[in-house]
Amino acid sequence: MARLFGTDGVRGLANAELTPELATALAASAARVLAAHDRSHRPVAVVGRDPRASGEMLEAAVVAGLASAGADVVRVGVLPTPAVAFLVGDLGADLGVMISASHNPMPDNGIKLFAAGGHKLPDGIEDEIEAGLSAEAVRPTGAEIGRASDLADALDRYAAHLIAATPHSLDGLRIVVDCANGAASFAAPEVYRRAGADVIAICAEPDGININDGCGSTHMEVLSAAVREHGAALGIAHDGDADRCLAVDADGELIDGDQIMAVLALAMAEAGELTDGTLVATVMSNLGLHLAMRAHGVNLRTTAVGDRYVLEELRAGGFALGGEQSGHVVLPAHATTGDGLLTALRLMSRVAATGKTLAELAGVMQRLPQVLVNVRVADKAAVAGSSAVREAVDAIEAELGDAGRVLLRPSGTEQLVRVMVEAQAEDTAKAAADRLAGVVSAVS
C-alpha cells in the first residue's frame, strides 16, 4: 500500500480522498504519537488553515480528532503555514496542524503536521502516526477530553516576529503583493504596511473558491501587469499557503527563487550572517546561481529536490540560508520552515537599505537557459546503469564546459526520467536535451 504521507504532508481531493473521517483519525493519531514522546503534561495543538471552502469542514474534523485524543486545541484561523509553525514554538505547543494544499487548485486540500518547536516531522514519526490510524486506542472521557479555544492575537504575534526579523524599514517603498486569494490575504498586506511599505494588495479577497485561480506565484503575469500599472518598485507573489515567495522588478520581469537567494546570500555575507559563507540549494537551481556565488566567494551546497532536504542540510551544517528555485526560502535563525513573508521582507529590506532597484540587485545572477524534458521509460534502473547514457552525458558535458550543466533525475513516483540541460544559449540547451532524451528513450 502506498505511503499516506507525501513530501509535504497528506494531500488529496477534499471529501473524496481527504475525507473528514481521515482527517479526524489522522489528527487523533498525531496527538497520541506526539504526546507519547512527552507525557509530562496535557498536549496542546495549534490549528490553522488557508481559506479554501473545504478547510472549514476539515478544520472541524481535525479539532475533533485532537480533542478526542485528549489534546487542547488553539485555533488560529486563516494564516500562512509558516505562521502556524511559528506559533507552535511561540506558544510552547506540542504539535501544529496546517490545513492547506498550497498551490494546488481549490478542490484539493491537505494536512501538514509540525512537531514541538514548529519543525516538520521526520519520516519515522510520520510512519508512527500512519500506523496509529489502524490501532485501537483508549479514548479519554470526562474532563480528560481536549478543549478548543481561539487565539485572538495570532496575526499580531506573527507580525511582530516578522518585523523584528526585518533589518531595515521599508518606508517609502511602493509594492504590489499578489496574495493568491489564499492564506496571505490578510497577513501579507498588514505585515508589509507595518514594516513601512506603501502596499497595493491584489488577489486578496478570498471567497473559499478563488484560491490560486489565475493568480499568485503560479500566474506571475497578473502581478507583472499590476506593478507596471501602479508604478511600483517591485511586486511580491505568494502561493496559497504563503510558504513561498517570488518577485518581479519595476518592469514586471520575473525574479525567481534562485535570484532571491543570490540577493539574500550576498546581503547576509556582507552582514556576517552567512554561516561558513555557505548557501544551500537543490540540484535544480540554475547554473547561473552557481556561477554568481562562485564569483562572490560564496559556497553552494546542493541537495535533492524538496524543501525537506534543504532543511536537513541546513540543520546538519548549521547553515543560515537555503531554498529552492520555486521560491521556498528558509532562514533558520528566524523560521523553522519556508516563509514567504519573511523572505519578501528580507528582499525588500535589501532594496530599501541599498537604494538600488530590485533589477540591479538581482543582476548579480544571470539565469542561464534551462531546458527540461520528461522521458517516459520502461525501467528507470536500466537508464541509471546504462553506459550509453553515461557516455552521452559525458560528451554533452564536455561540449558545454563550464558554461553548461546536465542533470538526469528519475521521478520518485512515475517511470519517468527528467533530462535537464543548461547552456549559454537556449538553442544549445534544447538541442542537447533532445539528444540526450533520445538516448535515454532508446536504452529503456
Domain at 403, CATH number: 3.30.310.50
Residue 5 belongs to a domain: no
**Tens of pLDDT, residues 371-383:** 999 988 888 888 8
Residue 3 belongs to a domain: no
Residue 126 and residue 164 in one domain: no
Residue 299 and residue 165 in one domain: yes
Residue 166 and residue 305 in one domain: yes
Specify whether 411 is catalytic: no
Do residues 242 and 183 lie in contact, with contact meaning Cβ atoms separated by under 8 Å?
Answer: yes
Name the domain boundary from 152, 183, 201. 152
Residue 1 belongs to a domain: no
Residue 379 belongs to a domain: yes
Cell numbers given for 365 = 545572477
Residue 434 counted as an annotated binding residue: no
Residue carrying the nine cell digits 558535458: 397
Residue 397 and residue 415 in one domain: yes
Domain at 53, CATH number: 3.40.120.10
> What is the enclosing helix (H) or strand (E) of 376?
strand 370-376
Count the neighbouring beta carbons within 10 Å of the beta carbon of residue 171: 10
Cell numbers given for 113 = 503536521
Residue 87 belongs to a domain: yes
C-alpha 302/C-alpha 314 separation (Å) is 11
* Residue 85, amino acid: A
Residue 271 belongs to a domain: yes
Name the domain boundary from 117, 137, 152. 152
25 — phi, psi (to 5°)?
Answer: -65, -40
Residue 201 belongs to a domain: yes
Look up the pTM and report it.
0.92
Residue 243 counted as an annotated binding residue: yes
**Tens of pLDDT, residues 256-311:** 999 999 999 999 999 999 999 999 999 989 999 999 999 999 999 999 888 889 99
The predicted structure's pLDDT at residue 3:
81
Residue 2 belongs to a domain: no
Count the neighbouring beta carbons within 10 Å of the beta carbon of residue 162: 26
Residue 235 and residue 207 in one domain: yes
Name the domain boundary from 332, 362, 392. 362
Residue 238 and residue 329 in one domain: yes
The predicted structure's pLDDT at residue 253:
97
Residue 218 and residue 320 in one domain: yes
- Per the structure, the complete domain to which residue 439 belongs is given by 370-443
- State the total domains in the chain: 3
Secondary structure of the chain: what % helix, strand, coil (to 5)? 45, 20, 35
Residue 96 and residue 196 in one domain: no
Residue 276 counted as an annotated binding residue: no
Residue 52 and residue 186 in one domain: no
Q: Exactly one of 68, 102, 386, 444 is catalytic; which is it?
A: 102
For the packed helices 81-90 and 340-354, what is the interaxial angle rounded to 10 degrees?
100
Q: How far is CA 397 from CA 286, 404, 420, in A?
A: 16, 7, 12
Residue 168 and residue 55 in one domain: no
Residue 297 and residue 334 in one domain: yes
Residue 239 counted as an annotated binding residue: yes
Following DSSP, what letter does each residue of 93-131 receive, concatenated? Answer: -SEEEEE--TTS-TTEEEEEEEEGGGPBPPHHHHHHHHH
Query: Which residues lie below 8 Å from residue 16, measured CB to CB, with a gap of 6+?
Result: none
**Tens of each residue's pLDDT in the chain, 444 residues:** 568 888 788 999 999 999 999 999 999 999 999 876 666 788 999 999 999 999 999 999 999 999 999 999 999 999 999 999 999 999 999 999 999 999 999 999 999 999 999 998 888 999 999 999 988 888 999 999 999 999 999 999 999 999 999 999 999 999 999 999 999 999 999 999 999 999 999 999 999 999 999 999 999 999 999 999 999 999 999 999 999 999 999 999 999 999 999 999 999 999 999 999 999 999 989 999 999 999 999 999 999 888 889 999 999 999 999 999 999 999 999 999 999 999 999 999 999 999 999 999 999 999 999 899 998 888 888 888 889 999 999 999 999 988 899 988 887 667 888 999 999 899 999 999 999 999 998 887
C-alpha 411/C-alpha 419 separation (Å) is 11
Residue 56 and residue 148 in one domain: yes
